[in-house]
Amino acid sequence: MKEPGLALIIPVVDRLLRVSLRIVTMPIQSQGIITRDNVSVDISAVAYFRVVDAVKSVVAIENVNAAIDQIAQTTLRKVVGRHTLDEALSETDILNANIRTILDEATLGWGVEVTLVELKDIQLPDSMKRAMARQAEAEREKRAKIIAAEGESLAAAALGDASDTMMAHPLALQLRNLQTLVELGVEKNTMIVFPAPMMSAIGEISTFLTRETAAAATPPVGGVAINGVPSTVGTGRNG
């Protein structure tokens, strides 16, 4: 290995190979992978590595870049095939760490260090996309129904407390009825709505007036009504 500076080589006998020690970006082409739950996906990734030992990278292997490309592809298929589709979609950090660990173990003897591996793109079949969309929609509907049920439960509890308060304070119900009439009147409706308690009160008043009228028209027992005024007819010895 020559140090930086002027290097003398013998023509025909010596051959100069220059090795870059900078970090190299290597895209890993898309791989058709079958996950552990038998779902076919196409996954591509990108790997970052650098040469830490120039002599090993030249002597230990013929073409270090091509070797890393091939072993990265096989490692990607092996690691992703051990996981389910949900794990591959949600636990990408774990997959990246596993791929990097395996690559480091394989390339350490080549004088190469893998610094980073990232899954770049995951292509799903159209049928799987539709199934996942239906699943997501069902999850949203489930959450919406649960939230609506919780709202109904809270509303029922609040209405129960309000009804208890109105039972303890009857005037509160009348005030609520008047407030409802005011709200209806703001909208300039031509229809007049009377709450049920008010209608029952009107019915009770009508019944009371009818009863009073009937009582006034009926003469008392043992008397005669003169000009609408009841009088008493008495009997006696001198009568």
pLDDT in the model for residue 194: 59
The one-letter amino acid at 176: R
pTM of the predicted structure, to 2 decimals = 0.56
pLDDT 10s digits, 87-115? 888 888 999 999 999 998 889 889 999 99
Q: In a 10 Å sphere around its CB, with 0-12 CB exposed, 13-18 middle and 19+ buried, how is residue 59 labelled? A: exposed
CB neighbours (10 Å) of residue 127? 9
Question: Alpha-carbon torsion 119, 30, 79, 75, what sign?
Answer: negative
pLDDT in the model for residue 238: 47
Distance CA 166, CA 173 (A): 6
pLDDT 10s digits, 3-35? 777 878 888 888 888 888 899 999 998 888 888
pLDDT in the model for residue 239: 41
Minimal CA–CA distance to 176: which of 196, 156, 148? 196
Distance CA 228, CA 132 (A): 90
